[in-house]
Structure 1
Amino acid sequence: MWMSVCDAVFDQQDAEVVCRELDCGAPVQVLGAAAFDKGDAQMWTQEIQCRGDESQIHLCPTSLPQKYWSHDNDVGLVCGDRVNVRLVGGHSRCAGRVEVLHRGQWGTVCDAGWDMTEAAVVCRELDCGEPVDALGDAHFGPGYGPIWKNRMICTGSETTLKNCGSVQLYDYDCNHDKDAGVICSGEQF
């Protein structure tokens, strides 16, 4: 269930937890007075009392219900961008195996369906120009750790790979021998 939170009960520690949970970097600004417009969800009436190190907002302690707040007091939050994708094993920062940061851990992307559309999103996100090649079969060497995305589905207009959809392919044996890679035009040898 989606809930609106009152700006009077949301502070910097709460913001740190929300930005971390969403994998959106550090909090930049907490905004009140429905800065991003009024919500229409049920209003959360308890004070959230995060310490700032929780992994998810629902793990934070809360107080007893407080007075009723209106959607005129919905809190807004701006999280700072951070690098959520990187290219590893190439000759520059604009070529390599695609790795995605999720919940504080780097993992790879499967090459199933990996093509120039997905490569364009990675190159744009890293400010590396246009895609030159979308590679599979661990062209830049096999990664390790989790394989976060089994099959990416991008339209090509996304500003970050995390905004692309993905599907789990149960008939495709994805392992690190099938890690996806990219070469962007910004690559320099």
Structure 2
Amino acid sequence: MELESETANMVCQELNCGRLKRLDSARARVESAPNWLDHVKCRKHDSNLLKCPSSPWGQNNCDSRSDEVVHITCTGHTEARLVNGSDSCSGRVELQYLREWGTVCAVGWDMRAADVLCAQLDCGSAVAVVEVDWFGEGSGHIWADVFDCQGNETHLSRCGISSWSRAACSHKHDAGVICNGSSVAFHEGRVRLSGGSKCQGEVEIYFRQDWRRVLLDSWSLSEASVLCRQLGCGSVLNCRSSPSTTEHKHMCVTGFSCSGSEAHLGNCSSGQPVNCSSGEQLYITCSGKQHNTYK
């Protein structure tokens, strides 16, 4: 029979083998196999093979011609997990192909695929796709499949899949994901002002599971305005450098880029960890009052 791709996809899903990877004609027919279904045409909303329209059970006109037989290759991805994070909703992405676990490359992984993975793991939606410096390098296989998800699928096996050269990736590019069901997502991006008052002091940002100072050359009044707003401290009055009164830390943060209108630093472009270049600390003074406009 002629098998359409949607029907072949359903066969792969029924076998817990992911989605269709390749559909072609078989070279030889398995003569001992009985013919139960013919003219099967699955639709996207069908939940299983028996829900798909077909000829009556056991009625078919199959013969031994080669074009009556098809050969299906499924992607084989059956399970997924996030490892080496603080909980099951954050970590390095690992997929199981049949019985073997492997990592995926950050180059072929995006927020839509991360959203689907988080939903699949009952972890809500994705907060961030991160690189290897978050959750470390994996070992073993690196799956070269690129998941073409829309973001509303319930399982990665329902996303389209394409492949690209494995030579383009190594474990130094293993992808990681943080879902909003993780404690990491709750704490990430918090800010505090120390050595002064609630609305005045040295800036520290909770970044990649630790409190870090901010490099002065990566900070402007726009970022300071967002920080004061995030703290509920009104507008920024002053932004200057000051000798640090806190313990010097090995890592700082740089790279935040805000327009000034954001409600939270997490809405600005992401920062990056860097070595602290000096003991100078960013010191901010906010107005101390949150002005709200009511219409």
Instruction: State if a TM-score over 0.5 links the two structures.
Output: yes
Q: Which residue of 1 aligns with 2:59?
A: 70
Distance in 2 of aligned mates of 1:119 and 1:37: 30
Q: Which residue of 2 aligns with 1:99?
A: 94
Of the three residues 14, 17, 29, the one matched with 1:23 is 17
8 Å contact from structure 1 (residues 88, 99) kept in 2: yes
Distance in 2 of aligned mates of 1:89 and 1:20: 31
TM-score norm. by structure 2 comes to: 0.38
8 Å contact from structure 1 (residues 111, 151) kept in 2: no
Look up the SS of the partner of 2:116 in the other structure. Answer: helix
Query: Which residue identity is paired with 2:130?
Result: L
Query: Which residue identity is paired with 1:70?
Result: Q
Where structure 1 has 5 or more consecutive residues not aligned to the other structure, the ranges are: 4-17, 25-31, 44-68, 72-82
Q: Which residue of 1 aligns with 2:74?
A: none
Distance in 2 of aligned mates of 1:164 and 1:19: 11
8 Å contact from structure 2 (residues 144, 165) kept in 1: no
Q: Which residue of 2 aligns with 1:90?
A: 85
Of the three residues 117, 123, 130, the one matched with 2:112 is 117
Q: Which residue of 1 aligns with 2:155?
A: 160
8 Å contact from structure 1 (residues 97, 138) kept in 2: no
Query: Of the two structures, which has the highest relative contact order with CA contacts closer than 8 Å and spacing of 6 or more?
Result: 1
1:134 is aligned to 2:143:
no
Q: Which residue of 2 aligns with 1:149?
A: 144
Distance in 1 of aligned mates of 2:158 and 2:99: 17
**Which string of whole-angstrom CA distances, capped at 9 and with x for unpartnered residues, describes residues 154-173 of structure 1?**
11111112222333333962
Distance in 1 of aligned mates of 2:154 and 2:15: 20
Rg: which structure is higher?
Answer: 2
Distance in 1 of aligned mates of 2:152 and 2:105: 20
8 Å contact from structure 1 (residues 150, 174) kept in 2: no
- The correspondence of residues 45-64 of structure 1 with structure 2, limited to 5 A, is none
Query: Which residue identity is paired with 1:39?
Result: S
Alignment size in residue pairs:
131
Summarize the Cα distance change of 1:162–1:37 in structure 2 as closer, same or farther, 3 Å threshold: closer
Distance in 2 of aligned mates of 1:35 and 1:151: 30
Summarize the Cα distance change of 1:36–1:20 in structure 2 as closer, same or farther, 3 Å threshold: closer
Look up the SS of the partner of 1:84 in the other structure. Answer: strand
Look up the SS of the partner of 1:123 in the other structure. Answer: helix
8 Å contact from structure 2 (residues 95, 104) kept in 1: yes
1:180 is aligned to 2:152:
no
Deviation at 1:109, TM superposition (A): 1.1
8 Å contact from structure 1 (residues 21, 103) kept in 2: no
Distance in 2 of aligned mates of 1:96 and 1:161: 17
Look up the SS of the partner of 1:139 in the other structure. Answer: helix
Distance in 2 of aligned mates of 1:126 and 1:139: 20
Summarize the Cα distance change of 1:70–1:121 in structure 2 as closer, same or farther, 3 Å threshold: same
TM-score norm. by structure 1 comes to: 0.57
Distance in 2 of aligned mates of 1:133 and 1:187: 11
What root-mean-square deviation, in Å, do the aligned CA atoms of Structure 1 and Structure 2 show? Answer: 3.4
